[in-house]
Amino acid sequence: MNSATNTPSRGMVGIGQQFPEFAMPGVVSLEKGKEFKNFSNKDMKSKWSVVFFWPLDFTFVCPTEIAEFNKELKNFNDRDAQVYGVSCDSQFVHLAWRNNHADLKNLGFPMLADNKKDLSEALGVLHPTEKVPLRATYIVDPDGIIRWVSVNDLNVGRNVKEVIRTLDALQTDELCPCNWEKGKATLG
């Protein structure tokens, strides 16, 4: 951290760069004995991936975003894209939150536990003073290359429909004009 400017000393990992290697546990179920599974960047191979970060569990904006990603999960699956949610809470806190929040009980994607903050730091998305992940969203192609990044401050939730629209545009591999949506003409 550069204390003179209160900004991270290393920049954010961005477009065209390899998504960092990671290994961490995640919550995948509420069923006793099947709650946890280990994940790594190897799980992202050969598929499009959407990785989104939220600051902390048991907060107010975060469950609205997580629930919206889950509501739109069929749209991601239709695009052969897997979704991963990540915060710096442990897998045990994730499980407790899922058990105690009606909108999170039936999630169809893993809640990854970056409690050591290794992935958040590697991507450069830790808030400089709060030391929790910003609301970052990454679209990663099947080769592990970051193709899109969007980052919101801690208080502002993201637009999941925009993530889907951008994924659609990236998957065309063509030039897409402003406000392009699936089914409309591209420029290529």
| Structural tokens at position 154 | 């801690």
178 is known as an active-site residue? no
Separation between Cα atoms, residue 63 and residue 61, nearest integer Å: 6
Which of these is catalytic: 62, 88, 176, 178? 62
φ, ψ of residue 156 in degrees (nearest 5): -115, 120
Q: Taking the alpha carbons of 29, 24, 168, 162 in that order, is the dihedral positive or negative?
A: positive
Cβ within 8 Å of residue 2, ≥6 positions away: 8, 9
Q: Which residues are catalytic?
A: 62
